[in-house]
Amino acid sequence: MKILIINGPNLNLLGIREPNIYGNQTFETYLKNLKIKFKNIQISYFQSNIEGELINEIHEKGFSYDGIILNAGAYTHTSIAIADAIKSITTPVIEVHISNTFTREKYRKKSYLSPVCKGIISGFGLKSYEMAITYFELQ
């Protein structure tokens, strides 16, 4: 099984960015632990602050992977283009958020991605990614 995790803008700063919301662990450290826990699953990772690069990655891997876990960051609330990219591929996508976006600013309550994703996991910290992998693993 091949799973791709895609993180969008500002998620390269996990571990130092607003630790009261996002925690103090880097994603790279967390990813190492995920790969140990799910050693029978090939987990790939991609991060970019650039919308077009996220779309290119979705296009490139969206026909050959078993699942994509996408935390599009702020693009969740603004990007019709990323939603269109998700609609264009055959690989199922789970939308993930570290924080509970519904308890935050009003503009974070709207997701352009949710209607085209298999499901949403939000508010469980970095554990949200593990929950998404577990879903794919059980399919």
Rounded Cα–Cα distance for residues 99 and 50 (Å): 21
Spatial strand order in the sheet of 67-71: 42-47, 2-7, 67-71, 93-97, 119-122
Q: Give the span between the Cα atoms of 123 and 15, in whole angstroms.
A: 17
Could you give the CA distance from residue 116 to residue 133 in angstroms, rounded to a whole number? Answer: 18
Establish whether 77 is an annotated binding residue. Answer: yes
Q: What's the CA gap between 12 and 56, in Å, rounded? A: 18
Judge whether 59 is annotated as a binding position. Answer: no
The residues assigned a catalytic role are: 22, 97
- Report the distance separating Cα 120 and Cα 64, nearest Å: 22
Phi, psi of 60 (to 5 degrees): -65, -40
71 belongs to an annotated ligand binding site: yes
118 secondary structure, DSSP code: S
Q: Which residues are annotated as a binding site for substrate?
A: 71, 77, 84, 98-99, 108
Q: Which residues are annotated as a binding site?
A: 71, 77, 84, 98-99, 108
